[in-house]
Amino acid sequence: MHRKAEENAHNEILAFLLAVLGVNLLIGGLIVVTIVVGELGWLLIFPYKPSQTSSAYIGLILTITGFIILLAGFILVIHYNKKRSWYIKEIEKSSLPEKWKTDYKTVDQILKEYTGKRRKKSS
């Protein structure tokens, strides 16, 4: 279990780096398109009216790819974080000594034990 928790922590770091790569590609693509084309028509964050030059298309491809990689990175960070926290919780459960694990008794159980002890003493 310790190995799986460490593996998920490592995968979480890699997913975060993937998100950073996505941000770099997204910003780089937006800068390339803005510099090459000048004035753009925008659809949310994506320029949709590039010029006829190939570098404008490269910028558009970088922008779309960066957005997809950024989104995938964030989803993977959340996924691996949940898996790692589950493994850590299971490790903590299994590592508690038996003497610290307490059984909580209901009032009825306590009363039955108490009355049973009194009957044994009186007989």
In a domain, 104, yes or no: no
Q: What is the number of domains present in the chain?
A: 1
Write down the pTM of the prediction. 0.64
Tens digits of pLDDT across the chain (123 residues): 778 888 888 999 999 999 999 999 999 988 887 787 776 666 656 666 655 666 677 888 888 899 999 999 999 999 999 998 888 888 888 876 655 666 677 778 878 887 876 666 655
Spatial distance between the Cα atoms of 1 and 26, rounded to a whole number of angstroms: 37
Spatial distance between the Cα atoms of 88 and 119, rounded to a whole number of angstroms: 47
In a domain, 122, yes or no: no
Contact 77, 15 (CB under 8 A): yes
Full residue range of the structural domain in which residue 8 is found: 2-96
